Chains A and B, each alone.
Chain A
Protein backbone atom coordinates (compact mmCIF):
# COMPACT_ATOMS: atom_id res chain seq x y z
CA UNK A 1 0.00 0.00 0.00
CA UNK A 2 2.86 2.32 0.90
CA UNK A 3 4.59 1.41 -2.37
CA UNK A 4 1.45 2.24 -4.33
CA UNK A 5 1.07 5.47 -2.38
CA UNK A 6 4.73 6.31 -2.90
CA UNK A 7 4.38 5.78 -6.63
CA UNK A 8 1.42 8.13 -6.80
CA UNK A 9 3.25 10.67 -4.64
CA UNK A 10 6.34 10.49 -6.86
CA UNK A 11 5.53 13.52 -9.01
CA UNK A 12 4.96 15.60 -5.87
CA UNK A 13 8.31 14.80 -4.27
CA UNK A 14 9.75 18.31 -4.76
CA UNK A 15 6.56 19.87 -3.49
CA UNK A 16 6.59 17.71 -0.34
CA UNK A 17 10.27 18.56 0.20
CA UNK A 18 9.55 22.27 -0.14
CA UNK A 19 6.66 22.12 2.32
CA UNK A 20 8.68 20.11 4.84
CA UNK A 21 11.66 22.44 4.50
CA UNK A 22 9.40 25.46 4.98
CA UNK A 23 7.96 23.92 8.11
CA UNK A 24 11.43 23.08 9.43
CA UNK A 25 12.62 26.62 8.63
CA UNK A 26 9.72 28.07 10.56
CA UNK A 27 10.35 26.00 13.69
CA UNK A 28 14.13 26.47 13.51
CA UNK A 29 13.87 30.23 13.00
CA UNK A 30 11.47 30.50 15.93
CA UNK A 31 13.88 28.54 18.12
CA UNK A 32 16.76 30.69 16.89
CA UNK A 33 14.93 33.93 17.63
CA UNK A 34 14.03 32.60 21.06
CA UNK A 35 17.62 31.62 21.76
CA UNK A 36 18.85 35.00 20.54
CA UNK A 37 16.44 36.83 22.79
CA UNK A 38 17.48 34.65 25.73
CA UNK A 39 21.15 35.46 25.10
CA UNK A 40 20.57 39.19 24.78
CA UNK A 41 18.30 39.22 27.82
CA UNK A 42 20.79 37.30 29.91
CA UNK A 43 23.26 40.17 30.15
CA UNK A 44 26.63 39.26 31.55
CA UNK A 45 25.54 36.42 33.80
CA UNK A 46 26.61 32.83 33.19
CA UNK A 47 29.50 33.27 30.80
CA UNK A 48 29.86 29.57 29.97
CA UNK A 49 26.14 29.06 29.48
CA UNK A 50 26.01 32.18 27.35
CA UNK A 51 28.76 30.79 25.14
CA UNK A 52 26.82 27.54 24.74
CA UNK A 53 23.62 29.44 24.00
CA UNK A 54 25.45 31.52 21.42
CA UNK A 55 26.76 28.38 19.70
CA UNK A 56 23.24 26.94 19.78
CA UNK A 57 21.82 30.19 18.35
CA UNK A 58 24.42 30.21 15.58
CA UNK A 59 23.82 26.56 14.67
CA UNK A 60 20.06 27.10 14.65
CA UNK A 61 20.42 30.18 12.43
CA UNK A 62 22.59 28.33 9.92
CA UNK A 63 20.18 25.38 9.92
CA UNK A 64 17.33 27.84 9.30
CA UNK A 65 19.14 29.32 6.30
CA UNK A 66 19.75 25.86 4.85
CA UNK A 67 16.08 25.01 5.32
CA UNK A 68 14.99 28.29 3.66
CA UNK A 69 17.30 27.60 0.70
CA UNK A 70 15.90 24.08 0.37
CA UNK A 71 12.34 25.44 0.70
CA UNK A 72 12.84 27.69 -2.32
CA UNK A 73 15.21 25.58 -4.41
CA UNK A 74 13.14 22.40 -4.26
CA UNK A 75 10.25 24.25 -5.90
CA UNK A 76 12.39 24.58 -9.03
CA UNK A 77 11.92 20.85 -9.58
CA UNK A 78 8.17 20.96 -9.19
CA UNK A 79 6.45 20.08 -12.45
CA UNK A 80 3.15 21.66 -11.57
CA UNK A 81 4.08 25.14 -10.39
CA UNK A 82 7.17 25.11 -12.58
CA UNK A 83 8.58 28.37 -11.20
CA UNK A 84 11.61 30.04 -12.70
CA UNK A 85 14.65 31.08 -10.71
CA UNK A 86 13.32 34.62 -10.88
CA UNK A 87 9.96 33.54 -9.42
CA UNK A 88 11.55 32.01 -6.34
CA UNK A 89 14.23 34.64 -5.80
CA UNK A 90 12.66 38.01 -6.61
CA UNK A 91 9.75 39.09 -4.40
CA UNK A 92 6.34 39.81 -5.92
CA UNK A 93 7.22 38.53 -9.39
CA UNK A 94 5.91 34.96 -9.25
CA UNK A 95 2.56 33.93 -10.62
CA UNK A 96 1.43 32.02 -7.56
CA UNK A 97 0.02 34.18 -4.73
CA UNK A 98 2.50 36.97 -5.49
CA UNK A 99 1.83 38.94 -2.32
CA UNK A 100 2.18 36.15 0.24
CA UNK A 101 5.01 34.48 -1.63
CA UNK A 102 6.71 37.84 -2.09
CA UNK A 103 6.62 38.43 1.65
CA UNK A 104 8.24 35.04 2.17
CA UNK A 105 10.98 35.68 -0.38
CA UNK A 106 11.73 39.12 1.07
CA UNK A 107 11.81 37.65 4.59
CA UNK A 108 14.08 34.83 3.43
CA UNK A 109 16.61 37.20 1.86
CA UNK A 110 16.50 39.51 4.86
CA UNK A 111 16.99 36.66 7.33
CA UNK A 112 19.89 35.34 5.26
CA UNK A 113 21.64 38.71 5.00
CA UNK A 114 21.02 39.64 8.63
CA UNK A 115 22.11 36.21 9.83
CA UNK A 116 25.25 36.03 7.71
CA UNK A 117 26.19 39.61 8.61
CA UNK A 118 27.33 38.11 11.95
CA UNK A 119 30.52 37.03 10.18
CA UNK A 120 31.18 40.58 9.01
CA UNK A 121 30.30 42.34 12.26
CA UNK A 122 33.82 43.62 12.82
CA UNK A 123 33.55 45.46 9.50
CA UNK A 124 30.02 46.67 10.13
CA UNK A 125 30.79 47.66 13.69
CA UNK A 126 29.38 45.80 16.71
CA UNK A 127 26.88 48.49 17.72
CA UNK A 128 25.55 48.99 14.19
CA UNK A 129 25.46 45.22 13.68
CA UNK A 130 23.47 44.72 16.90
CA UNK A 131 20.98 47.38 15.82
CA UNK A 132 20.60 45.70 12.42
CA UNK A 133 20.37 42.25 13.99
CA UNK A 134 17.27 43.33 15.92
CA UNK A 135 15.42 43.56 12.60
CA UNK A 136 15.64 39.77 12.39
CA UNK A 137 12.56 39.57 14.62
CA UNK A 138 10.55 41.66 12.13
CA UNK A 139 11.44 39.37 9.22
CA UNK A 140 10.80 36.30 11.35
CA UNK A 141 7.25 37.60 11.94
CA UNK A 142 6.93 38.21 8.19
CA UNK A 143 7.98 34.62 7.59
CA UNK A 144 5.20 33.45 9.93
CA UNK A 145 2.73 35.67 8.06
CA UNK A 146 3.96 34.13 4.78
CA UNK A 147 3.46 30.61 6.11
CA UNK A 148 -0.06 31.39 7.26
CA UNK A 149 -0.91 33.25 4.06
CA UNK A 150 0.40 30.85 1.45
CA UNK A 151 1.25 27.68 3.32
CA UNK A 152 -0.58 24.61 2.06
CA UNK A 153 -0.67 23.18 5.55
CA UNK A 154 -1.61 26.46 7.26
CA UNK A 155 -4.98 25.11 8.37
CA UNK A 156 -3.72 21.70 9.46
CA UNK A 157 -3.78 21.02 13.21
CA UNK A 158 -0.25 19.56 13.26
CA UNK A 159 1.10 22.68 11.58
CA UNK A 160 -0.69 25.03 13.94
CA UNK A 161 0.45 23.04 16.99
CA UNK A 162 4.07 23.04 15.80
CA UNK A 163 3.87 26.75 15.02
CA UNK A 164 2.32 27.55 18.39
CA UNK A 165 4.86 25.45 20.30
CA UNK A 166 7.80 27.05 18.55
CA UNK A 167 6.67 30.60 17.86
CA UNK A 168 4.64 31.50 20.95
CA UNK A 169 7.55 31.23 23.45
CA UNK A 170 9.72 33.35 21.14
CA UNK A 171 6.90 35.87 20.73
CA UNK A 172 6.49 36.10 24.52
CA UNK A 173 10.24 36.68 24.87
CA UNK A 174 10.10 39.30 22.13
CA UNK A 175 7.18 41.11 23.75
CA UNK A 176 8.98 40.99 27.09
CA UNK A 177 12.06 42.42 25.47
CA UNK A 178 10.10 45.16 23.73
CA UNK A 179 8.29 46.12 26.92
CA UNK A 180 11.62 46.35 28.74
CA UNK A 181 13.15 48.39 25.96
CA UNK A 182 15.64 47.08 23.44
CA UNK A 183 18.44 49.38 24.53
CA UNK A 184 18.50 48.12 28.11
CA UNK A 185 20.34 44.92 28.76
CA UNK A 186 19.99 43.40 32.20
CA UNK A 187 23.31 43.30 33.96
CA UNK A 188 24.93 45.87 31.72
CA UNK A 189 24.59 48.91 34.02
CA UNK A 190 25.83 46.86 36.97
CA UNK A 191 28.90 45.79 35.03
CA UNK A 192 29.65 49.31 33.96
CA UNK A 193 29.18 50.98 37.32
CA UNK A 194 30.83 48.36 39.51
CA UNK A 195 34.55 48.74 40.00
CA UNK A 196 36.52 46.01 38.25
CA UNK A 197 38.28 43.55 40.46
CA UNK A 198 40.18 40.37 39.55
CA UNK A 199 37.58 38.25 41.31
CA UNK A 200 34.70 39.76 39.35
CA UNK A 201 36.60 39.72 36.12
CA UNK A 202 37.25 36.01 36.48
CA UNK A 203 33.61 35.24 37.09
Chain B
Protein backbone atom coordinates (compact mmCIF):
# COMPACT_ATOMS: atom_id res chain seq x y z
CA UNK B 1 0.00 0.00 0.00
CA UNK B 2 2.82 2.29 0.94
CA UNK B 3 4.65 1.37 -2.25
CA UNK B 4 1.55 2.16 -4.28
CA UNK B 5 1.24 5.57 -2.62
CA UNK B 6 4.92 6.23 -3.16
CA UNK B 7 4.62 5.34 -6.85
CA UNK B 8 1.58 7.55 -7.23
CA UNK B 9 3.37 10.41 -5.52
CA UNK B 10 6.40 9.93 -7.75
CA UNK B 11 4.20 9.85 -10.83
CA UNK B 12 2.43 13.01 -9.73
CA UNK B 13 5.73 14.75 -9.04
CA UNK B 14 7.07 13.75 -12.46
CA UNK B 15 3.90 14.97 -14.15
CA UNK B 16 4.18 18.27 -12.29
CA UNK B 17 7.82 18.68 -13.33
CA UNK B 18 6.94 17.82 -16.94
CA UNK B 19 4.11 20.33 -17.03
CA UNK B 20 6.32 22.99 -15.46
CA UNK B 21 9.03 22.38 -18.06
CA UNK B 22 6.43 22.58 -20.82
CA UNK B 23 5.11 25.87 -19.43
CA UNK B 24 8.60 27.33 -19.07
CA UNK B 25 9.64 26.36 -22.60
CA UNK B 26 6.36 27.80 -23.95
CA UNK B 27 7.07 31.07 -22.11
CA UNK B 28 10.61 31.16 -23.54
CA UNK B 29 9.37 30.47 -27.06
CA UNK B 30 6.75 33.20 -26.77
CA UNK B 31 9.28 35.67 -25.40
CA UNK B 32 11.72 34.94 -28.22
CA UNK B 33 8.97 35.35 -30.79
CA UNK B 34 7.80 38.58 -29.18
CA UNK B 35 11.35 39.94 -29.03
CA UNK B 36 11.94 39.14 -32.69
CA UNK B 37 8.62 40.74 -33.61
CA UNK B 38 9.52 43.84 -31.61
CA UNK B 39 12.90 44.09 -33.33
CA UNK B 40 11.30 43.57 -36.74
CA UNK B 41 8.68 46.27 -36.08
CA UNK B 42 11.33 48.76 -34.92
CA UNK B 43 13.49 47.88 -37.95
CA UNK B 44 10.53 48.36 -40.32
CA UNK B 45 9.63 51.72 -38.78
CA UNK B 46 13.21 53.03 -39.09
CA UNK B 47 13.52 51.60 -42.60
CA UNK B 48 10.24 53.29 -43.53
CA UNK B 49 11.50 56.58 -42.16
CA UNK B 50 14.65 56.35 -44.27
CA UNK B 51 12.86 55.30 -47.46
CA UNK B 52 10.27 58.06 -47.18
CA UNK B 53 12.91 60.64 -46.32
CA UNK B 54 11.54 61.27 -42.86
CA UNK B 55 14.51 60.05 -40.91
CA UNK B 56 15.31 62.51 -38.12
CA UNK B 57 19.11 62.35 -38.50
CA UNK B 58 19.24 62.30 -42.29
CA UNK B 59 16.83 65.16 -42.80
CA UNK B 60 18.76 67.21 -40.23
CA UNK B 61 22.10 66.69 -41.95
CA UNK B 62 20.70 67.12 -45.46
CA UNK B 63 19.94 70.70 -44.50
CA UNK B 64 23.46 71.02 -43.11
CA UNK B 65 24.83 69.83 -46.43
CA UNK B 66 22.77 72.37 -48.35
CA UNK B 67 24.04 75.06 -46.03
CA UNK B 68 27.59 73.93 -46.66
CA UNK B 69 27.12 74.01 -50.40
CA UNK B 70 25.41 77.37 -50.48
CA UNK B 71 27.72 79.21 -48.14
CA UNK B 72 31.03 77.95 -49.41
CA UNK B 73 30.13 76.81 -52.94
CA UNK B 74 32.72 74.22 -52.59
CA UNK B 75 32.45 70.93 -54.40
CA UNK B 76 34.80 69.24 -52.00
CA UNK B 77 32.71 70.24 -49.05
CA UNK B 78 29.57 68.97 -50.71
CA UNK B 79 31.15 65.65 -51.60
CA UNK B 80 32.88 65.27 -48.25
CA UNK B 81 29.81 63.96 -46.47
CA UNK B 82 28.94 60.96 -48.60
CA UNK B 83 26.43 59.72 -46.03
CA UNK B 84 24.79 62.31 -43.87
CA UNK B 85 25.78 61.93 -40.26
CA UNK B 86 23.46 59.32 -38.79
CA UNK B 87 23.41 60.47 -35.25
CA UNK B 88 26.12 63.04 -35.47
CA UNK B 89 25.72 66.10 -33.42
CA UNK B 90 25.55 69.49 -34.92
CA UNK B 91 29.05 70.01 -33.58
CA UNK B 92 30.29 67.08 -35.59
CA UNK B 93 28.49 68.25 -38.69
CA UNK B 94 29.79 71.77 -38.36
CA UNK B 95 33.41 70.81 -37.83
CA UNK B 96 34.11 69.90 -41.47
CA UNK B 97 32.24 73.00 -42.63
CA UNK B 98 34.39 75.30 -40.58
CA UNK B 99 37.62 73.44 -40.93
CA UNK B 100 37.55 72.88 -44.66
CA UNK B 101 37.71 76.47 -45.88
CA UNK B 102 40.95 76.96 -43.98
CA UNK B 103 43.01 74.54 -46.09
CA UNK B 104 41.41 76.03 -49.20
CA UNK B 105 42.52 79.49 -48.20
CA UNK B 106 45.97 78.09 -47.86
CA UNK B 107 45.82 76.09 -51.04
CA UNK B 108 44.27 78.91 -53.08
CA UNK B 109 47.44 80.94 -53.41
CA UNK B 110 49.34 77.84 -54.46
CA UNK B 111 48.15 77.76 -58.07
CA UNK B 112 49.19 81.34 -58.58
CA UNK B 113 52.93 80.72 -58.53
CA UNK B 114 52.38 77.83 -60.91
CA UNK B 115 50.48 80.08 -63.29
CA UNK B 116 53.03 82.86 -63.07
CA UNK B 117 55.91 80.50 -63.57
CA UNK B 118 54.22 79.00 -66.63
CA UNK B 119 53.52 82.39 -68.11
Contacts and interface: CB of A to CB of B under 8 A. Distances in A.
B23 interface: yes
B88 A96 contact: yes
Interface string B23-60: 11001100110010011001101110111100111000
A9 B85 contact: no
Nearest to A22: B42
Contact of B46 (A5, A6, A20): A20
Among all A-B residue pairs, the 10 with the closest Cβ atoms: A5-B51, A59-B31, A20-B42, A20-B43, A63-B35, A23-B42, A24-B39, A55-B24, A152-B87, A55-B27
A77 to B, nearest CB: 13
B87 A158 contact: no
Contacts of A66: 35
A52 B47 contact: no
A121 B55 CA distance: 44
Contacts of B42: 19-21, 23-24
Interface of B: 20, 23-24, 27-28, 31-32, 35, 38-39, 42-43, 45-47, 49-52, 55-57, 83, 85-89, 92
A153 interface: yes
Given A59-B32, A97-B89, A152-B57, A79 B83 contact: yes
Given A5-B50, A16-B47, A63 B86 contact: no
Given A51-B20, A152-B56, A19 B46 contact: yes
Contacts of A109: none
Contacts of B87: 81, 96-97, 150-152
A129 interface: no
A41 B66 CA distance: 55
Contacts of A52: 23-24, 27
B56 A24 contact: no
Contacts of B31: 56, 59-60, 63
Interface in A63-105: 63, 66-67, 78-81, 96-97
A117 interface: no
B35 A16 contact: no
A145 B103 CA distance: 39
